[in-house]
């Protein structure tokens, strides 16, 4: 048997058993894609991250890959946060102020701040969704009058495409009961990673928004706290002119409460000379450290 280290980390929380759990395998150099997929299925969390030596070593400290129980994911925010936490707390990188990770979608810079670990997002992109509002509402299990029609349903990207659905109240967000079979089919047809419900009725002190995230197309019915989707949401809010674009702007998003795993995503939109920079992040807690035994 080959033995490899594996960690279970709760991301976007400072309290164990909150936030979003991810698996982290810090040495995956000798693992095939097939074996990584099998490990992710066995771990059975929304994502497991695998660290490898980067061939682009002059620009990146590591290569990172992500697998859900069913397939490889191009980018995953909470697993990136969890992996960086393990590097800093378990693997001797606590003297570093930043770590750069090579992903399938490009280089992601991770840095330490007073808010915890922050990750710089890719520049956001928006596009229209080829589905009418009535169909979207049916897919997510809500009513038309639940939708906050001050804002548009759109697709947003900072590494994965997410369908963003504005909702009037937290009560409606928590009441949503998606038709997972049809939502999965819809998202696969439209190259959508997750469907992300958001409301400004957060009812959480210090939080601007409250969200829920559904990802049946990648084998996850509901993700507790979603880094990539909330990063895409930040880009949407900025590009749609919903949050200020003339100054730096920071806020917090609450997610996971419906699943009993409350988490908090810190968002920073920083103005630059040429374009804004988008960062998301938070804290993390290691709950399991163990050994995975793999047949040779």
Q: What is the largest CA-CA distance in the chain?
A: 58
Rounded Cα gap, residues 247 and 269, in angstroms: 8
At 38, list the tokens: 């099998």
Contact of 110 with 83, CB cutoff 8 Å: no
Angle at 148 between CA 237 and CA 269, to 5 degrees: 10
The secondary element (H helix, E strand) that includes residue 5 is strand 2-11
Number of alpha carbons in the 13 Å side-chain half-sphere of residue 42 = 12
At 280, list the tokens: 């998301």
Q: Name the 3-class secondary structure at 251.
A: strand
The secondary element (H helix, E strand) that includes residue 34 is helix 33-43
User: Considering 34, 47, 128, 204, which one is annotated as catalytic?
Assistant: 47
Q: Phi/psi at 257 (nearest 5 deg)? A: -65, -40
Rounded Cα gap, residues 72 and 33, in angstroms: 9
Q: What is the DSSP letter of 204?
A: S
Rounded Cα gap, residues 64 and 110, in angstroms: 13
The secondary element (H helix, E strand) that includes residue 115 is none
* Alpha-carbon distances of 200 from 156, 189, 204, 206, 259, rounded to whole Å: 18, 29, 10, 12, 19
Can you name the residues that pair with 222 across neighbouring β-strands?
214
Q: Is 47 a catalytic residue?
A: yes
* CB atoms near residue 185 (< 10 Å): 14
Q: Phi/psi at 184 (nearest 5 deg)? A: -60, -45
**Enzyme catalytic residues:** 47
């Amino acid at each position: 048997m080959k033995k490899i280290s594996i960690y279970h980390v709760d991301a976007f929380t400072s309290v164990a058993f909150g936030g979003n759990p991810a698996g982290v395998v810090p040495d995956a150099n000798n693992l095939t894609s097939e074996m990584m997929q099998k490990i992710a299925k066995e771990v059975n969390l929304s994502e497991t991250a695998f660290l490898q030596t980067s061939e682009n070593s002059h620009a990146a400290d590591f290569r990172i890959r992500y697998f859900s129980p069913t397939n490889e994911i191009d980018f995953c925010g909470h697993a990136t946060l969890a992996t960086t936490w393990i590097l800093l707390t378990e693997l001797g990188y606590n003297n570093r102020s930043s770590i750069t990770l090579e992903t399938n979608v490009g280089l992601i810079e991770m840095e330490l701040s007073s808010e915890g670990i922050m990750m710089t997002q890719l520049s956001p992109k928006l596009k229209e969704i080829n589905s009418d509002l009535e169909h979207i509402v049916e897919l997510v299990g809500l009513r038309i009058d639940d939708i906050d029609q001050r804002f548009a349903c759109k697709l947003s990207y900072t590494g994965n495409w997410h369908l963003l659905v504005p909702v009037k109240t937290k009560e409606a967000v928590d009441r949503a009961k998606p038709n997972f079979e049809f939502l999965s089919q819809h998202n696969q047809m439209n190259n959508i990673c997750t469907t992300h419900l958001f409301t400004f009725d957060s009812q959480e002190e210090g939080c601007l928004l409250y969200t829920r995230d559904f990802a049946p197309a990648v084998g996850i019915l509901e993700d507790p706290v979603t880094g990539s989707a909330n990063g895409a949401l930040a880009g949407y809010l900025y590009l749609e002119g919903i949050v200020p674009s003339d100054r730096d702007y920071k806020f917090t998003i609450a997610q996971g409460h419906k699943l009993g795993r409350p988490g908090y995503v810190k968002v920073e939109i920083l103005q630059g000379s040429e374009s804004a920079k988008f960062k998301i992040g938070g804290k993390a807690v290691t709950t399991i450290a163990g050994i995975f035994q793999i047949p040779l």
